[in-house]
Structure 1
Amino acid sequence: MKKLALIAFVALFGLAANAQAKFEFKSETIDYGEIAKGSDGVRVFEFTNVGDAPLVVTDVKSSCGCTVPKKPEKAVAPGETGEIQVEYDTKRVGPIRKTVTVYSNADQPVKALKIKGTVLSDNKSVLEKTK
């Protein structure tokens, strides 16, 4: 009887150890394109947990203070979708090339996401072609 209980325990523990959360992002890069200075800088990375365990995002950090990321508040169940919101300070004129790093319990625990684009100055139209 003890051997049977031990075998059952080991089998259950082995199955639980194999359960893993896994990200699948719609896109790992957000392209702002050319946007006007002071325009809305909020964008969202959407993802699905394609693993078989709840996905917990423990932290999200940006490569500079001009980008503010926001992680999901709750765990994302297998098959469910979640989002990571980023807000870029569009008062800063010029090119956008930033990295947002996501820390989680996924099979790939550290994931790098990118944002890119250009914030145009006040005297330049979004419709104006650059030379």
Structure 2
Amino acid sequence: MKLRTIVLTLTVVLCLAGSAWAGQLKISDTQVHFGNMKEGPNAEKTVTLTNVSDSNAVVANVSTSCACTTTQLDKTELAPGETASMVITYHTFKYPGKFDKTVHVFTGADGKTEDVIHILGYVDPIPMGVMEVEPRKVDVGELAAGKTNTVPLKVANTGDAPMKVTAVKSQKFGKTYWQGEKTIPAGQSATLDLAVAPGGQGRFLDIVMIFSDARNDIGKGYKTVLLGTVK
């Protein structure tokens, strides 16, 4: 009997402790329509979160399904009946076309109670360059060990506007193989002379990132692979 009393008491204490975090949110709009937008400027919409429970509600985390979407919440803890405003920003630049993304709001003692907001709309694209290296695995042939080798890399712009290339960097070795400003007109290609200085002999394999203002480079570069032999 004494053991049962202790267990029941502990259960009640845990429930009371958890109830301080257990809240229920009412979201003013779970389908946010941005409408038609021109690519370039950011677009914002605001939704209201209301605590409709009789205990405090804590927003543990807010995540989005795409890097194109960010949020800003003016408060994370809501007393009963209290409201919070959340600004949802859609970054249209380099994210053209129809979109249906989600925002996930997590609450509860364990931070796992989830409310989902859908954001929808269409971004009208602006003219922009598009990077292409074909094939993506480039055979650079035989390289001399311990020396700087000139490796030509052909880059094409398959977009409908000029494209500016600014750097080619080694992801594997942390080196910069080429840096400058090379503007490639729409529908044309250009050759970049990479300065590659491999170390030891044997097989050469490197992942390089080509940085540009192309539509398919969202700040992380365009990936291609260099293959060859070092002698």
TM-score (norm: length of structure 2): 0.43
By how many angstroms is 1:83 displaced?
2.1
CA contact (8 A) 1:37 1:93 kept: yes
Instruction: Work out which of the residue numbers 89, 94, 98 in structure 2 matches 1:95.
Output: 98
**Considering only aligned residues, what root-mean-square deviation do their CA atoms show, in Å?**
2.8
User: Structure 1 counterpart of 2:58, which letter?
Assistant: V
Which structure has more helix as a fraction of its residues?
1
Equivalences for residues 37-52 of structure 1 within 5 A: 37-52=39-54
When Rg is computed on C-alpha atoms for both structures, the one with the higher figure is 2
User: Whole-Å Cα distance in 1 between the matches of residues 14 and 63 of structure 2?
Assistant: 33
Residue 59 of structure 1 aligns with which residue?
61
Instruction: Work out which of the residue numbers 107, 116, 122 in structure 1 matches 2:120.
Output: 116
Instruction: Work out which of the residue numbers 24, 28, 31 in structure 1 matches 2:30.
Output: 28
User: Whole-Å Cα distance in 1 between the matches of residues 74 and 107 of structure 2?
Assistant: 11
CA contact (8 A) 1:57 1:71 kept: no
Instruction: Work out which of the residue numbers 66, 77, 80 in structure 2 matches 1:78.
Output: 80
User: Structure 1 counterpart of 2:45, which letter?
Assistant: R
C-alpha distance after superposition, 1:28-54 (max 9, x if no partner): 011001112223312222121100111
CA contact (8 A) 2:63 2:103 kept: yes
User: Whole-Å Cα distance in 2 between the matches of residues 38 and 64 of structure 1?
Assistant: 17
Which structure has more strand as a fraction of its residues?
2
User: Structure 1 counterpart of 2:106, which letter?
Assistant: Y
Higher relative contact order (CA 8 A, sep 6+): 1
**Structure 2 unaligned spans of 5+:** 1-8, 128-231
Q: Which aligned runs of 4 or more in structure 1 are off by greater than 6 angstroms?
A: none
User: Structure 2 counterpart of 1:24, which letter?
Assistant: K
CA contact (8 A) 2:36 2:121 kept: yes
CA contact (8 A) 2:73 2:84 kept: no
Q: How many positions carry a matched residue from both structures?
A: 115
TM-score (norm: length of structure 1): 0.72
By how many angstroms is 1:71 displaced?
3.4
Among all aligned residue pairs of Structure 1 and Structure 2, give the percentage whose two residues are the same amino acid.
27
By how many angstroms is 1:99 displaced?
0.9
Single out whichever of 82-91 and 22-31 deviates more from structure 2.
82-91
CA contact (8 A) 1:93 1:118 kept: yes
User: Whole-Å Cα distance in 1 between the matches of residues 14 and 106 of structure 2?
Assistant: 25
CA contact (8 A) 2:19 2:55 kept: no
CA contact (8 A) 1:59 1:71 kept: no
